[in-house]
């Protein structure tokens, strides 16, 4: 809470904690898929023996001695080669569905400015490539058909647009140019919303430059217009800022979006950090690449268990977890991504009820065994750290309104014995409940103990 509330003309436009069906659906997604696809898929982080070491989707901004001669021009002409003949949106959507994703965030246009839909407002778009077809439409239709909600990623910042500049426009000429850029941005946003009415949300990015930050009057009115026309649309906190340049939270600490959109390759340490706000974390499989990266050697690749851990940690704190895929130039996922999608899907097949529609188990203290999630009177414990004696000891406050009654393993449906452990001492504020795991439980994955809670009489 701020010390004192100041007069803000361009503060948050969002009512705290929307309770409409679209937002309730967002709260129950649990798992999402991010897809970064664009011209950067063609180099895949390398060009004629030169290796780029930044994030693969940033390759156009390649600098330093390893950069190929005339790189920006080479990059800006890659669209002439964009022909993903293996692309089949239905295949991706089926894979996402099997993996357990409930929503997808798709890059309609990244920082390079190349649009994957046939926008009327720029020639730098997919209709000018050998592929020609509207990729955004194929994605929206295929994912919607699988029951997966679609969110569109949209970068405001553009690296090769003559009207774009990073710094605040100063001369009349610059103001005019940037004014045209703002109009263009507005046109593209409404073009997307109009073309693809199934879209549930917009995921804005590239909104940190001074040019955009200083255009708070324009962006305030634009957000207002979007929200007036599409009241159910979900927009995170990364769209605009107030007149003091405050992003995500305005100068009165009000969230400037329907959810916290700051958790990029990071997670809050504790649910208390969220102050009750909705949020999602977006995560790469390689350390920091969002676009296709051909060579996965010599860097840490998150394992399926790493990913399950990050997902369970997110949902245990009321957040969604969104896993990124960077398909190649032909339209195929990286083999490493296919493997993770398969393994995560197998896990979700068995354990999904611990992920969807769950909330933070606020009555139960954090546990070193793994993560708790809760749905009504059902408590899920996803075990990552299996105790040496196979005896899971639940700590339950003596003030708790519910206590564990019965338990079973999701992996095979086996009922597990629960016993009170009388290890308490005088003045102890906790009760202890022991759950005995079967000795022959063999798995190389985290596993879920489903616990039914009884109300304390």
Interface with ligand JFZ (CB under 6 A): 55, 57-58, 205, 262, 264, 282, 290
- Give me 63's structure tokens: 């600098």
**CB-based contact 345:55 (threshold 8 Å):** no
Residue closer to ligand JFZ by CB (options 105, 416) is 105
CA distance 196 to 264: 26
Give 112 or 149: the residue with its C-beta nearer to ligand JFZ. 112
- Asked whether the beta carbons of 256 and 235 are under 8 A apart, the reply is no
Q: Give the shortest CB-241-to-ligand JFZ separation in angstroms.
A: 13
Q: Measure the CA–CA gap between 279 and 261, rounded to whole angstroms.
A: 6
Q: How far is the CB of 282 from ligand JFZ (least distance, A)?
A: 6
Nearer Cβ to ligand JFZ (207/221): 207
| Nearest-approach distance from CB 264 to ligand JFZ, in angstroms | 4
In the complex with ligand JFZ, the residue whose CB is nearer, 138 or 280, is 280
Closest residue by Cα to residue 93 from 21, 17, 133, 145: 145
DSSP 250-289: -TT--BSSSSEEEEES---SSGGGGTT--EEEEE-SSSS-
Edge-first strand order for the sheet with 402-409 is 370-375, 378-383, 447-455, 402-409, 415-416
The minimum distance between CB 278 and ligand JFZ, in angstroms, equals 17
257 or 446: whose CB is closer to ligand JFZ? 257
Minimum distance from CB of 75 to ligand JFZ (Å)? 15
Min. distance of Cβ 58 from ligand JFZ in angstroms? 6
Least distance to ligand JFZ, CB of residue 7, Å: 27
Nearer to ligand JFZ, 112 or 328 (CB): 112
Measured at the CA of 134, the angle between CA 133 and CA 140, to 5 degrees, comes to 135
Q: CB-wise, 113 or 370, nearer to ligand JFZ?
A: 113
Q: How far is the CB of 440 from ligand JFZ (least distance, A)?
A: 43
- Which residue in the shown chain puts its C-beta closest to ligand JFZ? 264
Q: What angle do CA 328, 331, 335 make, to 5 degrees?
A: 55
What stretch of H or E contains 337?
Answer: helix 335-351
| Collapsed DSSP state (helix, strand, coil) of residue 222 | helix
Give φ, ψ of 154 to 5 degrees. -145, 115
- 55 vs 192, beta carbon nearer ligand JFZ: 55
The single residue listed with the structure tokens 């338990």 is: 407
């Amino acid at each position: 809470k701020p010390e004192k509330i100041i007069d803000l003309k361009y503060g948050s436009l969002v009512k705290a904690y929307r309770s409409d069906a679209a937002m309730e659906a967002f709260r129950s997604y649990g798992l999402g898929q991010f897809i970064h696809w664009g011209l950067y898929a063609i180099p895949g982080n390398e060009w004629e023996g030169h290796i780029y070491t930044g994030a693969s989707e940033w390759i156009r901004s390649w600098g330093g001695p390893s950069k190929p001669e005339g790189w920006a021009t080479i990059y800006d002409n890659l669209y002439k080669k964009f022909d993903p003949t293996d692309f089949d949106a239905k295949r991706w959507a089926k894979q996402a569905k099997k993996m357990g994703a409930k929503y997808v965030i798709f890059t309609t246009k990244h920082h390079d400015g190349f649009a994957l839909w046939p926008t009327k407002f720029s020639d730098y778009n997919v209709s000018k490539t050998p592929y020609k077809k509207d990729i955004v439409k194929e994605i929206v239709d295929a994912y919607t058909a699988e029951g997966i909600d679609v969110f569109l990623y949209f970068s405001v910042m553009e690296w090769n647009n003559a009207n774009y500049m990073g710094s605040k426009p100063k001369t009349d000429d610059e103001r005019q140019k940037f004014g045209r850029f703002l109009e263009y941005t507005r046109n593209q946003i409404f073009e997307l919303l109009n073309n693809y009415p199934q879209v549930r949300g917009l995921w804005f990015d590239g909104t940190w430059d001074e040019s955009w930050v200083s255009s708070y009057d324009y962006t305030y009115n634009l957000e207002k217009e979007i929200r007036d026309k599409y009241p159910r649309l979900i927009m995170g906190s990364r769209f605009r800022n107030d007149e003091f340049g405050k992003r995500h939270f305005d100068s009165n600490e009000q969230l400037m979006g329907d959810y916290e959109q700051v958790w990029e390759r990071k997670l809050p340490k504790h649910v208390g950090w969220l102050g009750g706000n909705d949020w999602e974390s977006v995560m790469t499989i390689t350390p920091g690449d969002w676009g296709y990266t051909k060579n996965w050697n010599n860097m840490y690749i998150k394992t399926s268990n790493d990913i399950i851990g990050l997902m369970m940690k997110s949902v245990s704190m009321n957040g969604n977890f969104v896993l990124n895929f960077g398909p190649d130039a032909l339209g195929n996922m990286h083999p490493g991504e296919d493997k993770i999608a398969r393994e995560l899907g197998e896990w979700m097949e068995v354990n999904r009820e611990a992920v969807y529609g769950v909330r933070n188990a606020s009555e139960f203290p954090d546990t070193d065994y793994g993560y708790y999630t809760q749905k009504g009177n059902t408590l899920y414990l996803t075990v990552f750290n299996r105790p040496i004696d196979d005896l899971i000891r639940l700590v339950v406050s003596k003030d708790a309104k519910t206590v564990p009654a019965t338990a079973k393993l999701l992996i095979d449906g086996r009922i597990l014995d629960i016993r009170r452990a009388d290890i308490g001492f005088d003045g102890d504020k906790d009760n202890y409940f022991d759950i005995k795991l079967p000795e022959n439980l063999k798995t190389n994955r985290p596993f879920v103990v489903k616990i039914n809670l009884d109300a304390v009489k």
